[in-house]
Amino acid sequence: MGLDDLLNLFVAAILLAGIYTTMSIGMTVIYGVMKMVNLAHAGFMMLGAYFALEMSERLHIDPLVSSVLAVPVFFLLGVATHRSMVRFVPVADEPTLPSLLLLFGLWLVLQNVGYGVWGADDRSIFSALTMATFQFKGIVVPVIRLIVFGIALLSLVALHLFLHHTWFGRSVRALTQNREAGQLAGIDTGRTAMLTFGLGIAFTGLAGALLANLYSFTPEFGSSFMLRSFVITVLGGLESFSGVAIGAVIVALIETFSILVVPASYQHAISFILLVVALLVLPGGIEGLLQRWRRLG
Amino acid sequence: MTDLLSVEGLTRHFGGIAAVVNLHFRVKEGEIFGIIGPNGAGKTTAFSMIAGSLVPTVGSIRFRDREIGGWPSQRVVHLGICRTHQIPRPFTGMTVYENVEVGMRYGGRRTPPRGSIADEIERILEFTGLSGWGARPAGSLPTGNRKRLELARALATDPVVLLCDEICGGLNPTETADILSLLRRLRDGGITILYIEHDMRAVMRTCDRIMVLNYGEKLAEGTPEEIQDDEGVIEAYLGRRSWMGRAEPIEERP
Amino acid sequence: MTAAPGSRTPTSRTAYAVAALALLAFLAVPLVGITNNAIRLLLTTFLWVTTSLAWNLLGGVTGQVSFGFAVFYGLGAYTAGLSINGGVNPYAAIAAGGAVAAFGSLLIGLPTFRLRGPYFAIATIGVNEAVRIVMSNLEITGGASGLRLLQAGRFSQAEHYYAALGVAALAFLVSWRVMHSTFGLALRAIREDQDAAADVGVHPFRCKLAVHALAACLTGLAGGVFAHYSAYIHPDGVFAFATSTSILLMPVIGGLGTLSGPVIGAAVYSIVQEEMVVNFPQFHLLLYGALLILIMLFEPGGLAGLWRRLARRLRGRNAADPGAGIAAQQQPTGGGS
């Protein structure tokens, strides 16, 4: 294991962290504003992947282009989901069980509709870029990963501008920081929640479509990524947008470098164990988690 | 009368904000001890630390010469310290009777003989004016009765010290008078009461001694008369004298 | 009228009678010579009734949703399987399965119950998958290729049937006892408001650990009976996340926090599964997902709640709602400071 190999792994981890951030940010915005854990996250990621596939197979649109197209489509899908279901379950200062079970039900539905429509076969998207790599001083970088990283980064910049320079974005940040105060300040929570859910799903769909460029997928796709998103969100402090990026880097680094120490067959267990550990011992400076701890007896 | 509860140097930070700072006070057995102060003065935070819902950042809470700071509430309650909540938190899906039963079976310092539990619960419901409501789901109670249930459930734990957090908040004058007379009867029956209240008239009429908090610190302590006349309190916290001066008597039911 | 819970009210006397009659009828079933297929269906139903009632103790009565009950089902199955292969008496082996599952629940519960309900739920997803992966890689369990039971066949199908009926009856009895006990009162208080419960002396952490262990034990027993019956188990079956999902779906669909709900849910699930899994393998999960959504949106009391509502409407709505528990729990509770 030379220095070059370590450097290669490091670059791979950073490229992975970009898409991981995009994937988790959707979960974070929804949690921040609505205090809901989106258990249907995996379902929407899977839809994102098949969206890219369909666009490429039927309309011959480049999968990278359709990832971007996924944003408005999934925004509308998210808004529709909120209008038709999510808004009817109670919200509180922490996730409620009805919301958890509702979204879990939605995940089951999406996943099995996926099986019905696309079957259980492994699918993947090939384009001219799939196998291309480029080298820089001994570091090999797959071009497609670099582009995906770029799009992910751009989406995050766009989100940042959006949150800081629009009225809706400010409402989102206000409600995330203090729901009650936000309400008192006259923010229409219902409307903001609806648009936020749309925004969260838009990012989830985008992440699904981007990941479809990198991995093969089935309707099962997304569940392991959803767990990673949980880990990242928890590591990042549950509702901090910048925390998500840090969480994503940590998870990507651990996953990438664990290849060196953990046997391959246990590789999959890492994110699950990380999830439990993160929930338990890394409160990430959030008051909510401290309060959860305070009750031990 | 001896000190039942003594609090020394009690402090609690939330993140960088100090909600309660270096608080000292002593509560004597058998008195109604009022804690007043504007919103955010740290009253409920202080309460929560005594009741075990919050761990103090620093400081000591002694109950009958036993250090209880940082004990969880389910342990504190077994010593005989029980709280009510400002916004009532009934077990909404359970009946009123069952709500009280939880307090009786789990919070009691001794287990009452089996047959007497139903009688005992009935007695508490009657005392708090809830008799006849026992079979109703607690979630269906109107505000006034929710407050009563809060009290009933706490009483079921057979407390030595009762911590009442704005138990008259949101009630009309008649309901307030009812509850206040209950508190006085409880005190006369030997229960020590710590009482947070916003309603000045209620505090002035009911409490034996009062402590004033502001920005998490103690501003003054004394009898209602002393507090009423304390220039520091009036200037620094009350601002205008008329507010205190208008202490009209409130009608009390026999 | 304040009826002390636990007293023999007329309703509970009828329920006792119904339960006893049902038990007698099920005991007689193998004697009247129905088809093996029907017996198999009943047996499966009993196993699901057991897990469903067990999950309900934690998820329905105590309000702690777990996505990880396959862990206990699997632990029970593997413990029983390995013990039987080691020459242990099958009944003892099944009992050992329950014990190991209960022990496992403590190991899982000690850290995870430090988390509040919803975070506990998320953590159990991680626990479930981590355990499955470990079990797929362990040498002694046969790893991913599964475990074949060597002494299977010593039981006749009737004996398997009675074993399954036995654990289901046990689960029913235990649920009954718990729900009408002081312990059950504390569990419900925790479901309603954990902090308020602690304020009046309930120890939430201990109560959750205890009910988790109880539920895990019952689930492990069911797993043990299953292992012995099916004679072949593998990690992607008994430890699968899908198994956890099924165990969760049944009581939720049937009606949380009640005694009849989980039984109804399990019966419906087993029958639907039987009819559909062959012809439409994915469709049944789609159906459950849709049902779950509908139940969360319209009838949080599940099928049992729906039944009560219909019955009330037919009878002409007079009495107060005895099943208000869960429905009220679903109301928005607001923040509180």
Interface predicted TM-score (ipTM) of this complex, two decimals: 0.86
pLDDT band at A251 (very low <50, low <70, confident <90, very high): confident
B97–C325 CB contact, under 8 Å:
no
Residue A44 near residue A201 (C-beta atoms within 8 A): yes
Q: How far is CA C100 from CA C86, C95, C235, in A?
A: 16, 9, 17
| Predicted local confidence at residue B110, as pLDDT | 65
Q: Sorting pLDDT into bands at 50, 70 and 90, what band is C3?
A: very low
User: Is the Cβ of B75 closer than 8 Å to some Cβ of chain A?
Assistant: yes
pLDDT at residue B53 above 90? no
* Nearest by CB: B139 against C1, C189, C331: C331
Q: Which residue of C has its CA nearest to A278?
A: C123
Chain A touched by B14 (CB under 8 Å): yes
CA dihedral sign, ordered A113, A117, A119, A124: negative
Residues 198-227 of C with CB under 8 A from A: 198, 203-205
Q: Tell me how close the Cα of C325 comes to any Cα of chain B, in angstroms.
A: 4
Contact B72 A295 (CB under 8 A): yes
Chain C adjacent subunits, 3+ CB pairs under 8 A = A, B
Residues of A in contact with B75 (CB under 8 A): 297
A287–B14 C-beta distance less than 8 A: yes
Q: Which one of A272, A277, A293 would you mutate to disrupt binding with C, by most C Cβ within 10 Å of its Cβ?
A: A272
CA-based nearest distance B100→chain C, Å: 9
What does each C-alpha distance from C222 to A143, A281, B195 come to in angstroms?
52, 33, 53
Question: What's the pLDDT score for residue B250?
Answer: 41
pLDDT at residue A1 in the model: 62
Contacts C194 to B, Cβ<8 Å: none
Least-confidence region, from A108-122, C86-100, C108-122: C108-122
In sequence order, what DSSP letters do the residues of A211-247 get, joined into one string?
HHTTS-B-TTTTHHHHHHHHHHHHHTTSS-HHHHHHH
Q: What is the dihedral of CA C121, C123, C125, C131, to 10 degrees?
A: -140
Averaged over C143-165, what is the pLDDT?
A: 80
The reply to whether CATH 1.10.3470 applies to domain C35-314 is yes
* pLDDT recorded at residue B2: 72
Longest dimension (CA), chain B: 57
Whether C7 has its CB under 8 Å from any CB of chain B: the answer is: no
Q: What percent of chain B has pLDDT over 90?
A: 27
Which other chains touch chain B, taking contact as 3+ CB pairs less than 8 Å apart? Answer: A, C
Q: Sorting pLDDT into bands at 50, 70 and 90, what band is B15?
A: low
Cβ of A295 within 8 Å of Cβ of B14? The answer is no
Is some CB atom of chain A closer than 8 A to the CB atom of C300?
A: yes
Helices and strands (H, E) in chain B, number of each type:
10, 10
**Which among C65, C137, C293 has CB closest to A102?**
C293
Q: What is the mean pLDDT of chain B?
A: 83
**Does pLDDT of C323 surpass 70?**
no
C145 interfacial to chain A (CB closer than 8 Å): no
Which pLDDT band, with edges at 50, 70 and 90, does C168 fall under?
very high
Please check the confidence at residue C287 and state whether its pLDDT lies above 70.
Answer: yes
Q: What is the pLDDT of residue B84?
A: 92
Residues of B in contact with A295 (CB under 8 A): 72
- As given in the structure block, the two tokens for residue C206 are 């201990």
pLDDT, chain C, mean: 83
- For residue B159, give both structure tokens: 């407390």
Q: What is the pLDDT of residues C5-57, one digit of tens each?
A: 444 455 667 777 888 888 888 887 777 777 878 888 899 999 999 999 999 99
Tally C-beta pairs within 8 A across A and C: 148
**Average pLDDT of chain A, as a whole number:** 83
Task: Calculate mean pLDDT across residues C170-180.
Answer: 93
Percent of chain A with pLDDT over 70: 93
Chain A's closest residue to B14, CA to CA, is A287
Sorting pLDDT into bands at 50, 70 and 90, what band is C281?
low
Q: Predicted confidence band at C81 (pLDDT cuts at 50, 70, 90)?
A: very high
Tell me B137's DSSP state.
B
Write down which chains contact chain A via at least 3 CB pairs under 8 A. Answer: B, C
Q: How big is chain B, counted in residues?
A: 254
Q: Give me the pLDDT at residue C327, please.
A: 39
Q: Which residue has the tokens 């046969």?
A: C142
Stronger pLDDT, B239 or A238, i.e. the higher one: A238
Most confident option among A163-172, A208-217, C162-171: C162-171
In the predicted structure, residue C325 carries a pLDDT above the cut 90: no
CA distance A152 to chain C (A): 26
Instruction: Report the residue from A287, A294, A297 with minimal CB separation from B15.
Output: A287
Question: How sure is the predictor about A146, in pLDDT bands with cuts at 50, 70 and 90?
Answer: confident
Between CA A102 and CA C33 the distance in angstroms is: 43
